[in-house]
Amino acid sequence: MPSNNMTLFYSPASPFVRKIMVLLHETGQLQKVDLHNVQLSPVAPNSDVVARNPSGKIPALQLADGDTLHDSRVILDYLDHQHSGEPVIPRSGPQRWQRLTLASLADAILDAAVLIRYETALRPEELHWPQWLEGQQAKIERALGEFEAQADTGALNTFDIATISLACALGYLDFRQPQLAWRERFPKLASWYSEVSQRDSLSKTQPPA
Ligand code: BEZ
């Protein structure tokens, strides 16, 4: 039977996809979206994804009318307008820009961590560029330091676009950089993450073991 559902082009390992899944859990919209699992990388694009998003990146969300939305920020904003509960992205005022800026900082952790992953897992070792890898890692460290400082201001007390993005970034670091030991250097963040990880939306969307 044809479905009126949206289709999310998906990989359980993608932290950008995970942000979407967390929002779907939090806003009670899981049943509106069919998941289309795809395998891809920058050097092995997926033709189903490329046909809908020329950048070849996931997440991409095909709507019931056939249009496709990307990237994760656009999809999050769209889905946040499709439910009647408390918005995950504040709709207006200084709060909107503050929370989106923090979400962007968490996305910067993800961008750097995913680039490091591609460089170390896909690129031949003799072509690795250590200074570039250090530069990406330094971005992650600076961003974690900022979130550690934000923990004192109450900025992590709301579960919204900023903290969903941060939790997905920390989850991805644990998944792809288990040696990083960020908890020792950022103890307030560690304590926050331990608590927030109990939420169904995070425990049910963990990256694959
Ligand atoms: C990963 O396996 O680390 C990954 C998969 C999809 C998108 C980004 C990262």
Residue of 9, 11, 119, 176 to mutate, ligand 1, most atoms within 8 A of C-beta: 11
In this structure, are 176 and 114 located in the same domain?
A: yes
In this structure, are 47 and 117 located in the same domain?
A: no
Number of domains the chain is built from: 2
Query: CA torsion sign, 84 to 8 to 73 to 170?
Result: positive
In this structure, are 103 and 187 located in the same domain?
A: yes
CATH of residue 63: 3.40.30.10
Task: Report the interhelical angle of 161-176 vs 15-26 (nearest 10°).
Answer: 140
* 205's tokens: 């969307």
pLDDT along the chain (209 residues), means of 10: 85 98 98 97 96 97 97 98 98 98 98 97 95 98 98 97 98 98 98 98 96
Q: Which pLDDT value is given to residue 63? A: 98
Q: Which pLDDT value is given to residue 4? A: 80
Would you say residue 88 lies in a domain? no
Ligand 1 mean position, distance from CA 196 (Å): 23
Report if pTM > 0.85. Answer: yes
Position 1, amino acid: M
Ligand 1 pocket at CB < 6 A:
11, 13-14, 114, 117, 176
Cα separation, 102 vs 149, in Å, equals 12
Q: Which pLDDT value is given to residue 62? A: 98
∠ Cα 8 10 12 (to 5°): 140
In this structure, are 75 and 100 located in the same domain?
A: no
Would you say residue 207 lies in a domain? no
In this structure, are 63 and 122 located in the same domain?
A: no
Q: Which pLDDT value is given to residue 1? A: 55
Ligand 1 mean position, distance from CA 94 (Å): 33
In this structure, are 105 and 16 located in the same domain?
A: no
Would you say residue 166 lies in a domain? yes
In this structure, are 14 and 99 located in the same domain?
A: no
- Containing structural domain, residue 73: 6-80
CATH of residue 135: 1.20.1050.10
Q: Which pLDDT value is given to residue 2? A: 60
Type and span of the H or E element at 111: helix 93-121
Cα separations in angstroms, 20 against 43, 92, 137, 178: 24, 21, 25, 23
Pick the last residue of a domain from 80, 103, 122: 80
